[in-house]
């Protein structure tokens, strides 16, 4: 069975033929397109290591069938930096040691970008922890992650206000 789909991934339009309707976005990205930033952690949607953005919203790609996202705009960790210029969230994670082993970091960063785009981050650490609770870190870098989210939110809000002025 050949199922053609079209996806825009990190700004590049891709025409893909799926041979199985059960292929998840995570498997498509990692195994067919060599975009390995999204990790296969639990493969049950419980750890957030596979978080990507689909049409600007964060999702667990291990639970999403590729065929059901035909026409979608997808952003992975590989698509957030602009050349050598890190995304503000990436820079904040480095500045606040929001990672240790790094396995969960791509999913944490993508979840943070989505959280900020969704307008849910705010400036309350407890709210940030609640909104990021779907992304687990086995190393326990949660304090640095929370600080990184708050800094990135503030920096991105200020940058947006400067552009509007």
Same CATH fold assignment for domains 3-79 and 88-164 = no
Residue 163 above 80 pLDDT? no
* Residue 121: pLDDT band with limits 50, 70, 90: confident
Give the 3-state secondary structure percentages of the chain, helix then strand then coil, rounded to 5.
Answer: 40, 20, 40
For the residues 9-14, what does the mean pLDDT come to?
98
Quick count: other Cβ atoms within 10 Å of Cβ 119? 9
Alpha-carbon gap, residue 85 to 63, rounded angstroms? 31
Task: Quote the pTM value.
Answer: 0.92
Q: pLDDT digit string (tens) for 37-54?
A: 999 999 999 999 999 999
User: Do residues 81 and 21 make contact, with C-beta atoms less than 8 angstroms apart?
Assistant: no
Q: Give CA separation, 2 vs 67, 71, 121, in Å.
A: 11, 17, 41
Q: How far does the chain reach from its first CA to its final CA, in angstroms?
A: 53
Residue 34 above 90 pLDDT? yes
3-class state of residue 67 by DSSP: helix
CATH number of 88-164: 1.10.150.120
The CATH architecture one would assign to domain 3-79 is: Roll (3.10)
Domain ranges of the chain: 3-79, 88-164
């Amino acid at each position: 069975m050949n199922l053609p789909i079209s996806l825009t991934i990190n700004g590049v339009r891709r025409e893909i033929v799926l041979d199985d309707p059960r292929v998840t976005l995570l498997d498509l990205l990692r195994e067919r397109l060599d975009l390995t930033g999204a990790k296969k952690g639990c493969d049950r949607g419980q750890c957030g290591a596979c978080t990507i953005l689909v049409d600007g919203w964060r999702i667990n790609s291990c639970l999403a069938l590729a065929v059901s996202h035909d026409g979608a705009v997808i952003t992975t960790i590989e698509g957030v930096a602009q050349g050598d210029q890190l995304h503000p969230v990436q820079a904040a994670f480095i500045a606040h040691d929001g990672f240790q082993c790094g396995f969960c970091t791509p999913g944490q960063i993508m979840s943070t970008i989505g959280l900020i785009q969704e307008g849910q981050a705010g400036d309350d650490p407890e709210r940030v922890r609640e909104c990021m609770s779907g992304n687990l870190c086995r190393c326990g870098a949660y304090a640095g992650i929370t600080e990184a989210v708050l800094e990135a939110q503030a920096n991105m809000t200020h940058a947006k206000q400067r552009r509007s002025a």
